[in-house]
Amino acid sequence: MAQEQDPTVERTLVLLKPDAVVRGFAGKIIARFEDAALKIVGVKMKQMDEEFTRRHYFDLEERLGAQVYNLTASFMQQGPVIAFVLEGYDAIATVRKIVGSTYPNEAPSGTIRGDFSHYGKTASKAAGKAVANLVHASGNKEEADQEVVLWFDKDELYDYRTLAEIFTY
């Protein structure tokens, strides 16, 4: 399922945030995406430093203010993240559906955030902390394209066929 061959095949970035890593949810979360016939075409673990965090969240401060950026940056730098690129039909929307609402207390059961977290905006504000919501997923095609290039060099991304592609598509 090479991305260039079919315009409905997309690549998107997913980050397992420090809370997902330290809680030991990597395998469970990755399995959710693989169960939906999305394939991993690149993966790495990284500790985000200040400069890289600024590059990843380049517009967050402008959109939501310095306080939100600072809380998010601090949260993302507190431990390693697992970054991976998923590929599949309508991958961006599919990943967003599997992940659930930004605020875990608003995410329905069956989504990653709905099943593994409950932290919401009110608790976040009261504690003066970022929302611990386990996963970052690119929000749209433009964002996915920018994030994939930021996190992965071309030689770190792979093209191969899965059994799901061979038998399902």
Number of Cβ within 10 Å of residue 60's Cβ equals 17
The reply to whether 136 belongs to the active site is yes
Helix (H, G, I), strand (E, B) or coil at 66: helix
Number of Cβ within 10 Å of residue 133's Cβ equals 25
Give me the catalytic one of 116, 136, 144, 147. 136
Two structure tokens written together for 156: 């770190």
Question: Which contacts (CB < 8 Å, 24+ apart) does range 96-99 have?
Answer: 96/137, 96/139, 98/32, 98/33, 98/36, 99/14, 99/135, 99/137
Nearest to 41 by CA among 135, 160, 130, 127: 160
Residues classed as catalytic: 136
